[in-house]
Structure 1
Amino acid sequence: MEILSSLSDGILIAIQPVNILLILAGVTVGLWIGAMPGLGSVNGVAILLPITFLVPPGSAIIFLAAIYYGAMYGGAISSITLGIPGASTAVATTFDGRPLALKGQARLALIAAAIASFIGGTVANILFTAFAPLLATVALSFGPPEIFALMLLAFATFVGLGGDDIPKTIFSICFGLVLAAVGFDQITGAPRLVLFDMNGFLGGISFLVLAIGVYGIGEMLWTLNESQGSTTTSEAKMSLRGVMDDTATTFRRGWRGMSIGSSLGFFVGVLPAAGATPGALMAYGVAKMTSKNPERFGQGEVNGVTAPESANNSAASGAMLPMLTLGIPGSPTTAILLGGMVMWGLTPGPMLFVEQPEFVWGLIGSFYVSNFFALVVNLAFIPLFIWMLRMPFTVLAPLIFVLSIIGGYAATSDMFDVWLMVVFGLGAFLLRKFDYPVAPAVLAIVLGPIAEPTLRQSLLLSSGDPTIFITRPIAGPITIIALILIFLPALKYLRPSRRRPT
């Protein structure tokens, strides 16, 4: 009862006139920031951080958190309408959101993304409110072996993303891991895989540049090649009855993805330095792996939209938990929020709940309010997003190319990355022409920088003994499950050979 009383007080603080205006402005700005390729919540919060010094600290952090929520919603917009991930957290949404739009079901995809985001955020907020101290303790027990085991489990779910051609999928994953290793070694500091001694490779390959190149330029080239002169992308109409029907369809066909994404995303988000992107990718992989019809994924499956969208919003709330309770940022965006709190004279950690209860519960209350307003604002702008799809593709293709170039340059302010993005786009197009899955390579470059240092740190802890991943109480079960999932596809090759003699 004490938690409910504190939460109600926090919601009352969040709906004060100043705070409610800041929340509405934050989610609206965040929605467009998330939809713009190359920006995302990290850049949006960083750019708008100086503005918050005009308001009290409590209202400032509420405003920035609202931008964070809005950006999580907005990332799906360009993923669905243009095929360009607005942020790294929305890459998995492109896999099925874009095919739905090309089938003339953009309205269903956008509504499914909005509702899944709301469900994921709501579930995460409830878990945050009820189990904050306990979950903070669990997060602290995750060391390098546990995090590597979790990454191994993520790779195990990715094996199924490439369809039935397992060798090509494994090749794609290995290629992504090679790209993730470009640049300076995180432990020794030595440069590696610097192609032709180009200085641009020393800083590594930006994941956002890779994602925009593959799913922006590459998707544009693929669509132009497949359309063979077709001038339109899809048809979609807006009506109240249609919105209600799509809402019902989302719950009927996408409930499994929402359930997986909401729970898995929050758990991954709570882990320090994990963030929403791995949570969204893992949720997509698990949703496909547990589906009765996995072949539908990548062709326009509703669960392929609801799983990553509920996961990245759930992870966004989960990432707030270690920041507030431990003073450890759970994502790059919360790292900026943490810096802002320190500048405002607030010290995140266990004592924050005791010394500043009004601030803490006001912020938690704003999570619920921001989540609701983000849903309303997103649904209100869906007609505008639908209008974008009515443009002829002869107009849309140059727009996608220009947005991709601008987004790639905005992410790093380096022309080398822009040229690299164009190369990735051409490479992705050629890989698709030869039936190589692109998604596993893109996902591997996300998890590679997390998996490699944790693997090496774990082996340093155990003096090179790999059994550390089996003997530890948390890492052991995760590793065993991951190994089972990795070797499970081998049964597809063994079963036909057993049937042939009979």
Structure 2
Amino acid sequence: MEALTSLIGGFGVLADPMNIVYMFVGITLGVLIGVLPGLGGANGVAILLPLTFSMTPVSAIIMLSSIYWGALFGGAITSILFNIPGEPWSVATTFDGHPMAQKGKAGEALTGAFTGSFIGAFFAVLLITFLAPVIAKFALQFGPAEFFAVYLLTFCAFVGMGREPAAKVIAAMMLGFALAAVGIDTVTGQLRMTFGSVELLRGFDFLVAVIGLFGVGEILLTMEEGLAFKGKSAAINAKVVWETWKKLPQYWVGCLRSAIVGCWMGVTPGGATPASFMSYGLAKKFSRNGRNFGKGELEGVVMPEVAAHAAGTSALLPMLTLGIPGSPTAAVLLGGLLIWGLQPGPLLFVEQKDFVWGLIASIYLGNIAGLIVVLTTVPIFAAILRIPFSVIAPVILVICAVGAYTVHNAGLDIAVMLVFGVIGYLFKKLQYPLAPLVLALVLGDMAESSFRQAMLVSQGHLSIFWSNPLVGSIVTLALVMLIWPLISIVLARLKGPGSKPAAAE
């Protein structure tokens, strides 16, 4: 009941007409970002974050989160019409979405995808509404050791539960830790790895790094691939929407299953991409029409979209309650909160109650607004893709440069952005994950501070991390996740030579 009362107060925060305007502007920009390959939710939020510095934190986070919702919606447009995943999590949508478009059912596929996205997000925001206050109250018991244990759990989960090779995840994470350590030691005040450079005293700004890694890196890679846009035209009318909606209730079990998978992968650092693939695989396995998957089955479009949107939305739950982002975009939003002087975590629900519940309320309205926007603007965004990429790419690069410059009004940041762009390009070419690097860059300082404070309290004894059942269980779970790839290999060998490790399935 308390959660519902707080949520009503959150809708009161949204009563400001400008917040509604920011929401629609953010969703429209997000759909555009989702439509354009080479950008994405994390990229768009990172690039446009400097534009929100003049806003209040509530208005800024509403606009940025709306960009994220719009990007989640927009990724399905290119997947279905052009067989080009606008977002990594939209790859599974192409399997049945594009075949439907080729059969002249583009409107049905798009309506199913958008509605599935709405269902997944609605399920996830209900989870946030009722679980976030409980988790926040529980987290008030945390001290330095408990916070470090949670950070350790996040890092280890990326290593053990991710789809990428553990060695590559660790390498990316180590680079992120090294970059986070540059500058002034927050505990002792000593300079670290500045090499006599005054510019490096403030360290590497995560925002400049993220703009380079995601925005510039993706553009360089896309330019190299010589991407050409070819696809089907589409128009959605009321009859198509209504006919599609009449078919969806028969998939309610699959939608519920996909929403649960998405929320789990969002709260843990699995992310929307593996959630969409997992949901598609489960739908294919349990569906009566599983044999038709890949040939243009509506169920094969709806299920991955439900899971992806549920994962993308629920990733905000650990970010708000514990200060631990569940996705790259949540990590960028976390950095934005820190820039505005807000410390994500349990105290946020006490000290900035209006902010938190205003954000949660905006998710409800944002997804309704997003569904309306995408259903009415599909032909417009489809037409944008016929603009030559040689025209779009320079525009995106200029936006990236402006975004990087406005962080500190320093020309050096543009050069730093370009360096990180090359790093992002190399990571993509060598198939190294960027999410662990961003995670370590954002959380590295906080994890280090928590660890060193815990060491000061315990006078250097690691036993503090097993000093009570709470911290001991979290650390033990983290270590199990860290070595999970090895455990899965051992289990596979015990089962027999024909089986595969769990992580590789």
TM-score range relative to shorter protein:
0.5 to 0.7
1:74 counterpart residue number: 67
Shift of 1:71: 2.3
Instruction: Tell me the equivalent position of 1:165.
Output: 165
Cα distance in 2 for residues equivalent to 1:172 and 1:8: 39
Q: Distance in 2 between matches of 1:253 and 1:176?
A: 38
Aligned letter for 2:12? A
Q: Is 2:371 the partner of 1:379?
A: yes
Contact 1:283–1:308 (Cα < 8 Å) also in 2: yes
Q: Match for 2:229 among 228, 232, 248?
A: 232
CA gap of 1:126–1:40, structure 2 versus 1, over 3 A, is farther
- What's the CA shift string for 1:263-320, capped at 9, x where partnerless? 797xxxxxxxxxxxxx6856559959988969xxxxx964773254212454677589
Identify if the C-alpha distance between structure 1 residues 144 and 337 changes in structure 2 by more than 3 Å, giving closer, same or farther: closer
**Deviation of the 1:120 alpha carbon:** 2.9
Contact in 1 for aligned 2:61/2:359 (Cα 8 Å): no
**How far apart in 2 are the matches of 1:244 and 1:224?**
40
Shift of 1:436: 3.0
The residue correspondences of 1:249-328 to structure 2 (distance < 5 A) are 258-259=259-260, 281=269, 302=305, 305-314=308-317
Q: CA deviation at 1:200?
A: 2.4
* Larger CA deviation: 141-150 vs 388-397: 388-397
Compute the displacement of 1:67 (Å). 5.1
- Which digits, 9 at most, give the CA deviation of each residue in 1:392-434, with x for residues without a partner? 3222222222222222223333222211111111122223333
d(CA) in 1 for partners of 2:207 and 2:24? 23
Q: Distance in 2 between matches of 1:495 and 1:423?
A: 42
* Inter-partner Cα distance in structure 1 for 2:399 and 2:242: 29
What's the counterpart of residue 39 of structure 2?
none
> C-alpha separation between the residues in 1 aligned to 2:146 and 2:153?
11
- Whether 2:477 is the aligned partner of 1:485: answer no
Residue 177 of structure 2: aligned partner: 177
1:86-485 paired onto structure 2 within 5 Å: 95-97=88-90, 115-127=119-131, 132=133, 135-160=135-160, 163=163, 165-194=165-194, 196-227=195-226, 230-232=227-229, 237-240=234-237, 241=240, 258-259=259-260, 281=269, 302=305, 305-314=308-317, 333=337, 370-382=362-374, 383=377, 384-485=380-481
Aligned partner of 2:54 in structure 1 is: 47
The one-letter amino acid of 1:474's match is L
**Residues 313 and 236 of structure 1, relative CA distance in 2, 3 Å threshold:** farther
Matched letter for residue 486 of structure 1: L
* Unaligned runs of at least 5 residues, structure 1: 50-63, 83-92, 266-278, 295-299, 321-329, 340-347, 354-359
Structure 1 letter corresponding to 2:68: G
Partner residue, 2:331: none
Moved more, 106-115 or 207-216: 106-115
> Does the CA contact (< 8 Å) of 2:128 and 2:314 recur in 1?
no
Task: Determine the structure 2 residue equivalent to 1:14.
Answer: 12
Report the Cα offset of residue 220 of structure 1: 1.4
TM superposition shift of 1:381 = 3.0
Specify every segment of 5 or more residues in structure 2 that has no aligned partner in the other structure, as ranges: 34-43, 76-85, 102-108, 283-300, 324-333, 498-505
Using structure 2 for the length normalisation, give the TM-score: 0.66
Q: Structure 1, residues 226-273: CA drift from partner, whole Å, max 9, x if none?
A: 33xx422766735254798699599877756744665797xxxxxxxx
C-alpha separation between the residues in 2 aligned to 1:280 and 1:29? 30
* 3-state SS, counterpart of residue 433 of structure 2: coil
Determine if contact 1:26/1:70 at 8 Å carries over to the other structure: yes
Q: CA RMSD in A?
A: 4.9
Distance 1:447 1:94, change over 3 A: farther
Name which of structure 1's ranges 254-263 and 163-172 shifts more when overlaid on structure 2. 254-263
Q: How many residues align?
A: 423
After TM superposition, give the deviation of residue 99 of structure 1 in Å: 8.6
Q: Normalised by the size of structure 1, how large is the TM-score?
A: 0.66
Deviation at 1:142, TM superposition (A): 1.2
The separation in 2 between residues aligned to 1:136 and 1:288, in whole angstroms, is 28
Paired residues of 1:168 and 1:436 also in contact (CA < 8 A):
yes
1:42-76 CA distances to partner (integer Å, 9 max, x unpaired)? 863x5233xxxxxxxxxxxxxx6465334212135
Query: Secondary structure at the residue paired with 2:371?
Result: helix
Which whole-Å CA distance do the structure 2 matches of 1:243 and 1:167 have between them? 49
Aligned residue number for residue 25 of structure 1: 21
Q: CA shift at 1:473, angstroms?
A: 2.3
Taking a change above 3 Å as real, the CA distance of residues 494 and 78 of structure 1, as seen in their structure-2 partners, is same
**Matching residue's letter, 1:309:** G
